[in-house]
Amino acid sequence: MAFICTEGVSKVYRTGRVEVHALCGVSLRISQGEYVALMGPSGSGKSTLMHLLGCLDTPTSGHYWLSGNDITTLDDIKLARLRNREIGFVFQNYNLLPRLSAQGNVELPMVYAGVRRSERTRRSSELLSLVGLGDRLSHKPSELSGGEMQRVALARALANRPSLVLADEPTGNLDTRTGQEIMRLFDSLAEQGNTVIVVTHDQDVAAHARRVIRLRDGRIEGIN
């Protein structure tokens, strides 16, 4: 079975009497080590699909296997454990904790995973050096530029050596040059064999991926 495998996945949001069919029968396969861009117009279901692939939510119907686990059968605790172990997230707004230093932010997923302190310190410094922030360990998010905050977020996403890195418009708040630097970091992740899925509406960002999956009205419109 492919590393990521969805079969007829649908998601219906119910708000009062209104039903929104955000995804309608999405079936896809993504192998370990693939670099994929998820594209589509606003409202086409990109974020919904990313939330499902990231085990932040479960489908209304259909099946999703991640690394052989049928996630539709897992309870919330097992889902959270799988998420923390297997998936690293990068968001447009960085989602860093303002009170923690860069190093503290990168250590947080390791705290949840029960990694001991000395190992956390070692690994967070190593990851921050990897993204070019070896000299910013003690800086708080407010003392960092947008590009630097996104680098911290990327280092945090890698903390527990995830098998899947999911990014939702990771360069959306960055200027073109800084965005390109961040995309080069994603490229090197993919070159090292990580599975990377980037949600974007930006053709230049999608050009980095080996495969583009296009969504429209909650359906896969095309894969190339």
Contact residues: ligand ADP, CB under 6 A = 13, 15, 20, 22, 40, 42-48
Beta strands in the chain (DSSP E): 4-15, 18-30, 35-39, 61-66, 69-70, 87-91, 164-168, 195-199, 211-216, 219-223
Please, what is the minimum distance in Å from the beta carbon of residue 32 to ligand ADP? 25
Which residue in 185, 153, 186, 172 sits closest to 34, CA to CA? 186
Taking the least distance from each CB to ligand ADP, the nearer of 45 and 54 is 45
Closest among 31, 16, 14, 49 to 221, alpha carbons compared = 49
Tokens of 203: 């053709």
Cα–Cα distance measured from residue 63 to residue 72, given in angstroms and rounded to the nearest whole number: 6
**Between 9 and 102, whose beta carbon lies closer to ligand ADP?**
9
Written as one letter, the residue type at 2 is A
Q: Which is nearer to ligand ADP, 124 or 200 (CB)?
A: 200
Query: Whole-number minimum distance, CB 23 to ligand ADP, in Å?
Result: 8
CB of 28 to ligand ADP, least distance (A): 15
Q: Shortest gap between Cβ of 143 and ligand ADP (angstroms)?
A: 31
Indicate the residue among 40 and 54 with the shorter CB distance to ligand ADP: 40
- Would you say 42 or 142 has its CB closer to ligand ADP? 42
As a whole number of angstroms, the distance between CA 14 and CA 5 comes to: 26
Q: How far is the CB of 103 from ligand ADP (least distance, A)?
A: 32
Cα–Cα separations (whole angstroms), residue 194 to 20, 27, 52, 131, 160: 33, 22, 19, 16, 13
| 47: phi then psi, degrees, rounded to nearest 5 | -65, -40
CB atoms within 10 A of CB 24: 16
In the complex with ligand ADP, the residue whose CB is nearer, 46 or 156, is 46
Q: In angstroms, give the least distance from the CB of 41 to ligand ADP.
A: 7
* Rounded distance between C-alpha atoms, residue 18 and residue 2, angstroms: 35
